[in-house]
Amino acid sequence: MIEGIMLENALELILERVTGITDITETEVSEAGGCRLAEDVYAPLDNPPFPRSPVDGYAVRAEDIGGADRERPAVLKVAGCVYAGDDGQSRSIKPGEAWRIMTGAPFPAGADAAVKQEDTDYGEKTVKIYKSQRAYDNYCFQGEDYKKDSLLLAKGTRLTFAEQGILSGIGREKVKVFRRPVIRVITTGDELCPPGRPLAPGKIYDSNGMMVSARLRELGVPAKSVCHQPDSEEKLAGVLEEAARGADFIITTGGVSVGKKDILHGALEKLGAEKLFWRVKLQPGTPTIFSVYGRTCILSLSGNPFGAMANLELLFRPALAKLTGDPGCQMEQRQGVMAADFSKKSKMRRFVRAVYRDGKVTFPQGIYSSGAIGTLRGCNCLLDIPAGTQSLAAGEQVRVWML
């Protein structure tokens, strides 16, 4: 076990122990948001599957309305009306005819353009066309969106609402995806009270359980379970053992420092987990522990909400990228310019909650200690202050990691 490790080395140790998920499951498209595709998806049909009108108006043969304008309208016989959902193949247009047509309706065979109804007299039996059209004006070609047998979605694509819409649009109800990571969250601390109950003296409400699980959800990997445990090594060892079954990752908060109730050390020992490191050389959340039990990685974060949050971002997101094979899970780093001074000395590498906008880095009003959560509101990045920095002056170039 390494005690006191640089962030980059901590990440190397974590990534060595994380294996990318290769198990494939078939799932409902509606449930597949956030999953990665485990198959190449080809279009089984043209889209649109037939030529259709993009306007409400009249389907015509362009050659029948050449030169038409307000003064000299073309007059056509209205052969009928075709709505979205009607069969276009069973209708055809003859010279001198128009079909009333609605948006999305198939063109009758032989029609090669649509005239917007605003450019007509809205005629029912005959219609006056006030505007000429070229062939294929106001005309959606069969397969113009995508062609049958074309590759629509490549294996590995992360499914969002857009891809789910595409899958539904080709008639798929189910899709093959890599299984979601199984992640469990355990908060610890005798002082914690779940929201919704009255707060007894000395107690505080639990922020971390919600913050970590909400973050996992935002990252597209909702936690399989979230539970709270009192400060008992024996009990926690048992809970961890249970939680490790089938889990890729367990994230705990609290109990990792050197106090008498910092029970993670003892609990991990009783469990028989292999401890890889304790204490990352950064603030906040220094006392993070990383251990492995069987094939389950256990990331034990500080109980201080900002310590937990910052280390979840810095240490867990790269792990998630490897686990899911989705590099999009990584934090993006950007260069910024300090908009104000930061006078606190940073003996150790320090990450400060901040707001990055238009290249400028500003701080929220209030305190930024690792136990303070109020000033997290509105923050969208962590400002990375190198170890040994005395202070930062407005105008200085800095590095931020986007949340």
- Which residues bind to Mg ion, rule: CB under 5 A? 189, 254-255, 303
Mark residues 346-375: x for contact with ligand AMP by CB under 6 A, - for none: -------------------------x----
Q: Which does 138 bind (CB under 5 to 8 A by kind): Mg ion, ligand AMP, none?
A: none
Which of 73, 284, 303, 318 contacts ligand AMP by CB under 6 A? 303
Closest distance of CB 9 from ligand AMP, Å: 22
Long-range CB contacts (within 8 A, 24+) of 82-87: 82/106, 82/107, 82/108, 84/52
Q: Which does 257 bind (CB under 5 to 8 A by kind): Mg ion, ligand AMP, none?
A: ligand AMP
Mark residues 16-55: x for contact with ligand AMP by CB under 6 A, - for none: ----------------------------------------
| Nearer of residues 123 and 254 to Mg ion, judged by Cβ | 254
Q: Which does 253 bind (CB under 5 to 8 A by kind): Mg ion, ligand AMP, none?
A: ligand AMP
Residue 239: both structure tokens together: 């809970």
| Nearer of residues 47 and 302 to ligand AMP, judged by Cβ | 302
| Nearer of residues 208 and 213 to ligand AMP, judged by Cβ | 208
Task: Give the three-class secondary structure for 107.
Answer: coil
Alpha-carbon distance of 321 to 309, in angstroms, equals: 17
Return the residue nearest ligand AMP (CB atom). Answer: 303
244 phi and psi angles, rounded to 5 deg:
-70, -20
> Does 189 interact with ligand AMP (rule: CB under 6 A)?
yes
> Does 252 interact with ligand AMP (rule: CB under 6 A)?
no
| Nearer of residues 80 and 230 to Mg ion, judged by Cβ | 230
Report in angstroms the alpha-carbon separations of 397 from 314, 342, 403.
Answer: 21, 13, 19
> Does 304 interact with ligand AMP (rule: CB under 6 A)?
yes
Alpha-carbon distance of 302 to 173, in angstroms, equals: 43
Binding segment for ligand AMP (CB under 6 A), chosen from 143-151, 187-195, 334-342, 360-368, is 187-195
> Which letter, b or e, does each residue of 53-79 get, where b requires 16 or more Cβ atoms within 10 Å of its Cβ?
bebebbbbbbebbeebeeeebbbbeeb
CA angle 59, 63, 68 (to 5 degrees): 85
Alpha-carbon distance of 335 to 347, in angstroms, equals: 22
Closest distance of CB 232 from Mg ion, Å: 12
Alpha-carbon distance of 335 to 356, in angstroms, equals: 10
Nearest one of 401, 329, 311 to 361, comparing CA atoms: 401
> Does 233 interact with ligand AMP (rule: CB under 6 A)?
no
CB-count burial class (<10 Å; 0-12, 13-18, 19+) for 82? buried
Count CA within 13 A, CB hemisphere, residue 20. Answer: 11
| Nearer of residues 181 and 287 to Mg ion, judged by Cβ | 287
Q: Which does 204 bind (CB under 5 to 8 A by kind): Mg ion, ligand AMP, none?
A: ligand AMP
| Nearer of residues 53 and 208 to ligand AMP, judged by Cβ | 208
Binding stretches for ligand AMP (CB under 6 A): 187, 189, 191-192, 204, 206-209, 253-257, 259, 262, 302-305, 371
